[in-house]
Structure 1
Amino acid sequence: MDNEKKNNYLVPVFWGITVTGLIILLTMTAKKAFAAIVPNQKIRGCDAYGCGSFGASRGGRKHEGIDIVVSPGTKILSPITGKVIRYPFPYPGDIFYKGILIENEQYSVKIFYLNPTAIQNTTVKQGGVIGVAQNIASKYSPGMTNHVHMEVRDAKGNLLNPTNMFI
């Protein structure tokens, strides 16, 4: 009977320590590396053209980033301190819609649907203005929620889910 009492007593204590330890472990291992790129940042939900979450279906492929809801003309802030590498274009043959690629020793961040204001080959600070949001709904229709698209890769080029990486 003594052993049963010890076991009954130890199980709740064990679970309490495990859960607390797990919470601490998760808090310590979750990298919160990025600053919000707009105030009150929100990931685009689903609309007539799909969903803005990482991994959302895009027909035969998966969404490789997150879409952050913005109004056209909104100033976009850099999520990291890094060097502006280039200005990529999301659509082949369409130079109206633009992007920016910023890299540091840990991350490569590509943001589409903004007019870049940060100068190529210069360093931008985390939280500094890097561009102004474009009107992506004008390319599709008012059924598309206006947003900027953000993709993140690690230093080895592996695609990352940035959803929970914001400070």
Structure 2
Amino acid sequence: MNMLRVCLTAALLVCYGLLSCSSEHDKREAEDLKNGDSNIEVKRNYTTANSGRPQTVTLRKKVKKTGSKMRPRSDISCTELGGICQPNRFICQGRYLADRCSGAKPRQCCTPAAAWSVLCAGHHNNRVRACDSHGCGAFNSRRGNDLHKAVDLVCDDYSIVNTPFSGSLAGPVSRKDPAGNQYDGVKLLSDAHCVKIFNIRPYRYMGPVAQGEALGYLLPLQERFSGITSHLELQMCDGTDPSPFI
């Protein structure tokens, strides 16, 4: 009987030892698994945070926008016109032309004055229309509430109008005054000048023409404006004063 108790006690102790070992083993495995997951999570987070490629910071330098037209490297295009390159703050007896000279933008080509021939055949000079009952023909003379941005040159009805400078005809032009009267003419341009000549009937509207060549004839004004001084109208394409050239 005693022997049986000893055996049972020994068996119970062995079972308890085995259970304790198993519990301790399970506990360690759980801790190891937890620590392993934590390390994996930390490593994963570290990898995720650093897996992206480093962002490239592009420094964009502000570039000042300039015109598409390049400045010439020499003054040849000016001197070929008989002009001289100088700062436009200086007085020019003729007219300044932009983009003809090298250097800074204020340095422009001063072209000579009185370079045009007489427009109206039979006249010895280009005479500006004086004031009459219908107004004055000088540049910037008052026209109602506006200023006359052209010059009227005295010419006889139906008389021949000659080309003031060599160039090319660039098509018909027309304009209307505040009263609704329409004036027709032609555009003439060259490397140095661009003008619109109104109140004439040109022989043609396109093609090259030489200085002094017959351009057309003057349209009569007396039928619409009784007592007006017959004239053609000379207007620079850029609205500047053509007086220095006539």
Tell me if TM exceeds 0.5.
yes
Answer yes or no: is 1:37 the counterpart of 2:119.
Answer: yes
Matched, 1:62 2:144: no
Q: Report how far residue 59 of structure 1 moved.
A: 1.4
Which secondary structure does the structure 2 equivalent of 1:164 belong to? helix
SS in 1 for 2:115: coil
- Give the structure-2-normalised TM-score: 0.50
Could you say which structure has the larger radius of gyration? Answer: 2
List per-residue Cα deviations over 1:33-72 (Å, max 9, x = no partner).
2111022231100001110001101111111111111111
CA distance in 1, matches of 2:147, 2:201: 25
Give the one of 205, 213, 224 matched to 1:128.
Answer: 213
Gaps of 5+ in 2: 1-91, 95-109
For 1:62-102, what per-residue CA distance to the aligned partner results, in whole angstroms no more than 9, with x for missing partners?
1111111111111001111111111112338877x420111
1:144 maps to 228
Number of the residue aligned with 1:106:
192
* Deviation of 1:120 (Å): 2.5
Q: 1:84 aligns with which of 160, 163, 169?
A: 169
Flag structure 1 segments of 5+ consecutive residues without an equivalent: 1-24
The structure that is helix-richer by fraction is 2
Letter in 1 for 2:156: S
SS at 2:170 equivalent: strand
Does the 8 A contact of 2:93 with 2:244 survive in 1?
no
Q: Comparing both structures, which one devotes a greater share of its residues to strand?
A: 1
In structure 2, the residue matched to 1:165 is 245
Q: Does structure 1 conserve the Cα–Cα contact (< 8 Å) formed by 2:157 and 2:230?
A: yes
| Counterpart code for 2:119 | I
**Aligned positions, number:** 135
Q: Distance in 1 between matches of 2:210 and 2:129?
A: 25
CA contact under 8 A between 1:98 and 1:116: conserved in structure 2?
Answer: no
> RMSD value over aligned CA atoms?
2.3
1:30 Cα shift?
A: 4.5
Aligned residues of 2:134 and 2:228 also touching (Cα < 8 A): yes
State the partner residue of 1:5.
Answer: none
Cα separation, 2, equivalents of 1:86 and 1:61: 27
The residue matched to 2:243 in structure 1 has which SS? coil
| 1:47 paired residue number | 132
Which one scores higher on RCO, CA 8 angstroms, separation ≥ 6? 1
